[in-house]
Every structure is written in C-alpha cells, then in structure tokens.
Amino acid sequence: MRYKITGRNIEVTPALKAAVEDKIGKLERYFNQDTEAVITLSVEKDRQKIEVTIPVKGTIIRAEQHSNDMYVSIDLVEEIIERQLKKYKNKIIDKKQAAVAFSDLFINEDYEADDGIEIVKVKKFAMKPMDPEEACVQMELLGHAFYVFLNSETEQVNVVYKRKGNTYGLIEPEF
C-alpha cells in the first residue's frame, strides 16, 4: 500500500507518519500493493482529526475520526475501516473490476455477511428545473437536510445539502 499523508494546521512529524503507516498498514492485508491510501491529519480547536480515503475501482472506502489525541484518532479510524471492509465485503467486491484492487486473502476469506441494508420507502417526485439557490430555499421550506433537483444551468440532477455553520453544499455528477 502507498500512503499519501498530509497535514492541515499540523506538522506531520516522523513519529506521526510512522504511527499512521503502522496502524493503517494493518489494512494492507486487504489490498494490493499499488493501492493508495490518502490520509489527512488536521487540528481544529481541540479536535485532532484523521480522514482516510482509499479509492478502489468503482468504490471509495472512507472513514474519519476525531478525538482530543491524534494517536487515539488513528487507532479508531483503522478499526472503522476494517469493520467496513468485513461488513460490506460482498457488496464492494465486483469480481470483474474491483477485485483487482483487493488482495486474494481478503477476496477468499469468509466474513459474516450483513445484508442489513433495507429500503423501506420509495418516493417519486417531479423535478422542476431550478438554480441551486432556489433549491436551497425549497429545502429550507421543506425542513429537509438535502434536496434533489434538476439544475437549470447544467440540465443535470444535483443535490444541495445543509452543512454545519448554516452553509450549503452542492453535489454535481461527474461523468
């Protein structure tokens, strides 16, 4: 596994880098050697945060964890990713494409399958073309945390969502 470690508001010391590579290195048994893990360490006020993103063909495996100690955050994020991999193994491994990113050991090992994803409601609605600002207003009027709409500027389906601090995000498809 290759590591791309960056720091925001924190200097990535050799000790921190070694701790990340040691802990995240435990995940190497699940991936091939050419898989890249993007790790971002950051400090915001009293929060020590680590974000780990591992892009594999067709899927992104991602976890973030924060605590008041960076080393604790590193330990916790590794456990989360390992739990995700075991829980969703059958769903993330597509034998034709994604399998090349994972190690044979992981592909052939049996983990308890969790078929816990159950869609209990399907909702259909008409999508009126609107700009992102109008979509944010609609979202607020409905009292939802996100809103799906047809962007009148791009003619594509977009999503606006509410972020912390009374700000908004826009999700646009990328083909």
Tell me 145's DSSP state: S
- pLDDT tens string, the chain, 175 residues long: the values are 889 999 999 999 999 999 999 998 888 888 888 888 999 999 988 889 999 998 877 678 888 898 999 999 999 999 988 888 877 666 665 544 455 556 656 656 666 655 667 888 888 888 889 999 999 988 888 888 999 999 999 999 999 999 988 899 999 998 8
Please give the Cα distance from 80 to 63 (Å, whole number).
7
- Which residues 6+ apart lie within 8 Å of 93 measured at CB? 99, 102, 107
pTM value > 0.75: no
C-alpha span between 37 and 53 (Å, rounded)? 6
Q: In 3D, which of 10, 7, 68 has the Cα closest to residue 38?
A: 7
